[in-house]
Structure 1
Amino acid sequence: MPVPASLAELLLAQSPDAVVFAGPDGIIQAWNPAAEAMFGFAAADAVGQDLNIIIPEPFQEAHWKAYDRALAAGDTKYRGQAMPTRARRADGSEFYIEMTFAIVKDESGTVLGALAHCRDITERFERERSQRRRLRDLEAEVERLRGSATP
């Protein structure tokens, strides 16, 4: 049973995750309130822009290659997976997000665009990076101590 448009709008508006939908041309067509809060662009400023507004410049070329490939294939290799990456806010600052993707098709199978759900994982990413560094330092110290204890 199809979801009534009003329910679909409510789901999008009340999603706790940032939801971004872009057409085959990469132009943003849907941008929910959580995306406004996360990226700092009002929906009125994001809708009609291409995805480069939230993609840091060093990642743009790789993004568009993967985007075009996924749309042409009608699927993404990341389906069902959360992918960490960096994103850009309206103020130009970068942060870490985790994204899940779907290629959206109509009833006939025609690709309409790509849907992404995003979460800010900056705090978790920084904490895990700090833990990895600490572990690496501890392992190096253990090896140093082993080496100095050898007769």
Structure 2
Amino acid sequence: MNMPGGLGEALLRSASDAIVATDRDGRITFWNPGAERIFGFTANEAAGQPLDIIIPENLRARHWEGFRHTMATGTSRYGHGDLLSVPALTKDRQRISVEFTIVLLRNDRQEVAGTVAVMRDVTKRFEEVRDLKRRLAAAGGKA
């Protein structure tokens, strides 16, 4: 299905969610206004940077292992509408919680050429659930 002229571009540029595309090496090739709002980096600051700018240091090795596997095999556990919840970093190094799903980008030969991730900041919800679990555990401990 083809979208009417400019609709795809309008959606990418106006989405409240972060939409981030990378090349095969994990360097950022697209960074929409939603990504600017959530992470604090402008599109110019993010362009060409590795995804490390938003990945907490303690998670980078695991991320890159999975990323390289996805680039090599053309498959991802998270590419079929499944949401992954992970910590992320903002420009000011604040840790937030995001949910995301990815789509693999392919070239004319159907080889994986990169990724597009759609991310949503779920920090507030994550903190509310964590607080509720703490309160329930404390109440259960008093019974």
TM-score by length of 1: 0.87
Change (3 A) 1:113 1:5: farther
What is the distance in 1 between the residues matched to 2:119 and 2:67?
16
Deviates most, 71-80 or 119-128: 71-80
Give how far 1:107 is off.
Answer: 4.3
Q: Deviations over 1:90-149 (max 9, x none)?
A: 11111111111121223431111111111111110000001111111122222xxxxxxx
Partner of 1:9: 9
If the length of structure 2 is used for normalisation, what is the TM-score? 0.92
> Higher helix share goes to which structure?
1
Correspondence for 1:30: 30
Q: 2:47 — aligned with what?
A: 47
Q: How does 1:39-118 map to 2 (within 5 A)?
A: 39-79=39-79, 80-118=81-119
Does the Cα contact within 8 Å between 1:75 and 1:102 map onto a contact in 2?
A: no
Structure 2: runs of 5+ lacking an equivalent = none
Please, which runs of 5 or more residues in structure 1 have no aligned partner?
A: 143-151
In the aligned structure 2, how far is the partner of 1:98 from the partner of 1:92?
18
State the identity as a percent: 37
Q: Which residue pairs with 1:145 in the alignment?
A: none
Aligned equivalents of 1:6, 1:35: Cα separation in 2: 20
Secondary structure class of the residue paired with 1:20: strand
CA-to-partner distance for each residue in 1:7-55, whole Å, 9 max, x for gaps?
3322210122100011110100000001011100000110111100111
Over the residues paired in the alignment, what is the CA RMSD in angstroms? 1.6
- Matches of 1:116 and 1:132 in 2, distance apart? 30
**Matched residue pairs, number?**
142
Q: Tell me the amino acid that sits aligned with residue 67 of structure 1.
A: F
Query: SS at 2:119's partner residue?
Result: strand
Cα distance in 2 for partners of 1:108, 1:3 equals 24
Rounded Cα–Cα distance in structure 2 between residues aligned with 1:3 and 1:108: 24
Determine whether 1:136 maps to 2:137. yes
Matched residues in 2 for 1:6 and 1:12: separation? 10
